[in-house]
Amino acid sequence: MTVTEQEIAEYVGRVRAALADLPPALREELTEDLPEHLTEVAAEGEGSLVDRLGTPEAYAAELRDAAGAPDLKRRKLDQRVAGMVSSILGRLRALDRRLGPPLGYATGSDFLRLLRPGWWVLRAYLAAMLVTVVTTGGSLGLLPRFGGELLAGVVMLIGFLFGSIWLGRRSERLRRWPRLALHASSVVLVVFGLAGLADGERRAGYGGYDPIAVVNPYDQVRDVFVYDSEGRLVENARLFDQNGNPIRLGYPDCRDEFDPSGGSPQGNPLLRPYPYCPEQAPFAPRAPVGPSTAPALPPLSSPTATTSPSPSSTPAASRTPEPTATADPGATASATPTPSTTR
Amino acid sequence: MDTTQLLKGVLDLAVLAVLRAEDGYGYDILRRLREAGLEEVGDASVYGTLRRLFAAGLLTTYVVPSESGPHRKYYSLNAAGRDQLARSGKLWRSFATTMDALLDERGAAA
């Protein structure tokens, strides 16, 4: 024999590859005993397989022709769709078989079949809840009601239960249209159940409160400074809300250093009048320079925008040329005027 | 006209006819067809035709062990195959007669 088994296997492999577009079952049917056939052919004469039979691709084309196998590219659309459907069904069956053993059954559908009575109970409940929604107008609890009546709803649920189980045991024997109607209503109930589930989940979430982070804008307040219309700091001011309750903001963090007695008759530092620390006032009480410049505080503008009219600035003062060069620079720096702003 | 074109339509019938007298394995059937005069028939065509006829339920198979070479798969006609052969044979004869007559009238046949 001049043809080796390996040559035959190679030839068969290339023929199969050339038929790869065929449905697996058909390809298998065509080529399952091709190795044996080629072995017979090889035993009958001399020369390599390609010499005697042509290339594997040509052999595959002839085989496809002779066996009446359709060329997939030439098949009609409906045949292709049918082929696709059957291949999907085949794949689902394979999946079904593969899912079985992990669940402890021969196939996955064997397991699902055991759950069918559970579905019958569930669909009776869903149907009762659907009637509840229709008769009571949307307000949905967990128990069925009929027109708002709980007892009637429970009676209805029990009736549906028996009906559903009876229907479930008969559904195999139903004819085409009743069965289709049953399946369609099952789909409706499933959609209704999912919608109800989503609704309940939404209503249960966060106890009805929107999860918004509340930031108190007064958290940063440490002290309160009240100015009158003339821009003068008001000391010992008290703040009250519309009910006469004192408004407590900030905390006295400076008084103990300067005045251990606190100046507060109540002793509770939080009941002291504002400001706790007058010396930290953002706007300095200015000595009356003139009536025209008296309103030093523009009450409606932010503190950063206020520029003090005082001309003194320490760097400029220290940089003034000193011809004698005997003066200590530290002395000039310390000789700054009263600071007009602290922030 | 090409013989392979003609063969396509009648290879089923030819294979069934070859198997009527005696069962055969793939290469044997090919050899018989060639000896009968169908020299252009290809191995793949015969093999594919056998697979198709088998799938259609017209043939049965059995394996015969061989001492000198590989095991051989023999094909034989079953009742359905014989039926098919009779019907196709009748059809072919009437078709061939029609063609003969057609060619004779025109004097085309040499």
Q: Where are the domains of chain A?
A: 5-74, 77-109, 119-204, 218-288
Nearest CA in chain B to A65: B45
Q: Which residues of A266-291 are buried (b: 16+ CB within 10 A; e: fewer)?
A: eeeeeebbbbbbbeebebbebeeeee
Looking at the partner chain, which of A30, A41, A62 has a beta carbon nearest the beta carbon of B51? Answer: A30
Nearest CA in chain A to B68: A43
How many Cα atoms within 13 Å fall on the side-chain side of residue A294? 8
The tokens for B32 are 């018989």
Q: How confident is the model at residue A330 (pLDDT cuts 50, 70, 90)?
A: very low
Q: Is B65 on the interface with A (CB under 8 A)?
A: no
Q: How confident is the model at residue A44 (pLDDT cuts 50, 70, 90)?
A: confident
Rounded CA-CA distance A298/A291 in Å is 15
The alpha-helical segments, DSSP class H, found in chain A are 5-18, 24-31, 34-44, 49-53, 56-66, 77-103, 108-114, 116-136, 150-170, 176-204, 255-258, 314-318, 329-334
Q: Which residues contact A23 (CB under 8 A, 6 or more apart)?
A: A83, A86, A87
Higher-confidence position of A271 and B75: B75
Q: Where are the domains of chain B?
A: 3-105
Mean pLDDT score of chain B: 86
CA distance A14 to chain B (A): 14
pLDDT tens digits for B43-92?
A: 888 888 888 888 888 999 998 887 777 788 899 999 999 999 999 999 99
Rounded CA-CA distance A279/A281 in Å is 6
Give the lowest-confidence range in A67-76, A122-131, A223-232, A234-243. A67-76
The tokens for A154 are 């429970």
Query: Does ipTM exceed 0.90?
Result: no
Higher-confidence position of A316 and A31: A31
Rounded CA-CA distance A339/A330 in Å is 17
Rounded CA-CA distance A237/A295 in Å is 20
Q: Is B90 on the interface with A (CB under 8 A)?
A: no
Q: Give the CATH number of domain B3-105.
A: 1.10.10.10
Q: Is B43 on the interface with A (CB under 8 A)?
A: yes
The yes-or-no verdict on residue A191 having pLDDT over 60 is yes
Which residues of A fall within a CB distance of 8 Å from B48?
30, 62-67, 69
Kindly report the pTM of this predicted structure: 0.40
Rounded CA-CA distance B7/A105 in Å is 53
A146 DSSP β-pair partners = A149
The yes-or-no verdict on residue A304 having pLDDT over 80 is no
Rounded CA-CA distance B95/A9 in Å is 43
Higher-confidence position of A76 and A177: A177
